[in-house]
Amino acid sequence: MPNCLDYARFLSRAAARRQPSAIREATQLFARSPPSTISFASGSPNASLFPFKEATITLKDDTTIQLDSSAMAKALQYLPTPGQADLLEWLRKLQIRYHSPIDFKRYELCVTNGSMEGLSKVFELLLNTTEPILVDSPCYSGSLDFLRGFGANIISVNTDSNGMNAEYLNNILSNWSDSNTLPRVLYTIPNGSNPTGASMSHERKKDIYTIAQKYNLLIIEDDPYYFLQFKKPDPSFLSMDTDGRVIRLDSMSKVLSAGMRLGFLTAPIPLWQKLVYHQQVTSMHASSLSQMVALKLLEKWGLSGFHQHTEQISKFYENQKVLMVNAIKKHLNGI
Ligand code: PLP
């Protein structure tokens, strides 16, 4: 059995206080009940009164996906907070296919309205205001804007062409003046970092993970560019997580569409549970309609179709890169 962390140590005061929302737990129960069940628990509207009946969506290859009336009724109704069960199952298979986590039983998934929503929830899960968080420097401005507004103490860790510099990280932590205020959280974008484009090598990730073990840090792996890489990305932090110290955020924004607002997070169960409690009383769940459209598409494609699609995307961006580099060489040479 791998190491077991004391997760209470990582929770913010707000997260530690969070309890299940009775009404959202009832929705979960209702979703698992026979179709004949009539629930008086939550204010679920009668789906037969919604003006939408069914939908056919034509894909770029001119095939279609169909939301018949029963799929449509589901797509318009409240969902259990972590997400549509079949979609979650599909995404679990996706994580196994790409990351083969060492002990996947200790993680759960939650679908989010894009990974930015997931990130904001994760930051609030782990930080109290004024507490430190280690981040890549330079770092994704969306996360920085959230953290500044939140009042976190942002500790910038230099990066190089391999991403976060492990030696620099080690120096910051070993020279920290007060062991009681040591950071507990590290946030990084391991592939195609925004804004530098740098990707972490496997060796670098191993070094960072070892430092995270030494100083008992949680790692937030924000990886929306995973599927856009020109060559197969090196193993993720999730895939090397022996201790359950990684929260991974994936996004469908660059792969299926940004406007669907679909992302998903993968977290050790004790942390996932607190995130779900937060989600229960904020957005309640990610858009049911987006989840249903994504599910129908992913079921039609299967994992191999999804993979093929991502290969086309990375090829497209690789060609764009070549065009841009050539244009720079031609027009900006000598400037
Ligand atoms: N994280 C990083 C590093 C990003 O660059 C972005 C968006 O560009 C996001 C998160 C947010 O993605 P989403 O559209 O899934 O919310």
Kindly give the distance from the C-alpha atom of residue 37 to the centroid of ligand 1, in angstroms, as a whole number: 39
Q: Tell me the CA–centroid distance for residue 112 and ligand 1, in Å.
A: 12
- Percent of the chain past pLDDT 70, that is, above it, reads 99
pLDDT in tens, 269-320: 999 999 999 999 999 999 999 999 999 999 999 999 999 999 999 999 999 9
What end-to-end distance do the CA atoms of the chain give, in Å?
58
Distance, CA of 21 to CA of 124 (rounded, Å): 18
- The per-residue pLDDT for 157 is 98
Is the pLDDT at 216 greater than 80, yes or no?
Answer: yes
Over the chain, what is the mean pLDDT?
95
How confident is the model at residue 1, as a pLDDT?
40
Q: Which is the closest atom of ligand 1 to the Cα of 119?
A: 10
Number of neighbouring beta carbons within 10 Å of residue 273? 17
pLDDT score at 129: 97
Average pLDDT (226-249) is 97
Residue whose CA is closest, atom 11 of ligand 1?
Answer: 116
Whether residue 82 is predicted with pLDDT greater than 70 in this model: the reply is yes
- pLDDT band at residue 30, thresholds of 50, 70 and 90? confident
3-state secondary structure of 136: strand
State which of 121, 146, 159, 253 you would mutate to test the pocket of ligand 1, scoring each by most atoms of that ligand within 8 A of its C-beta. Answer: 253
Q: Give the residue-averaged pLDDT of 107-133.
A: 98
Q: Which fold has domain 8-29+64-298?
A: Aspartate Aminotransferase; domain 2 (3.40.640)
Q: Please check the confidence at residue 260 and state whether its pLDDT lies above 90.
A: yes
User: Using alpha carbons only, how large is the chain's radius of gyration in Å?
Assistant: 21
- At 3, the pLDDT band (50, 70, 90 cuts) reads low
What global pTM score does this model have? 0.95
The residues spanned by each domain of the chain are: 8-29+64-298
Q: Which atom of ligand 1 is found nearest the CA of 140?
A: 3
Distance CA 190, CA 208 (A): 11
pLDDT at 121 over 90: yes
Binding site membership of 189 for ligand 1 (Cβ less than 6 Å): yes
For residues 154-182, give the mean pLDDT: 97
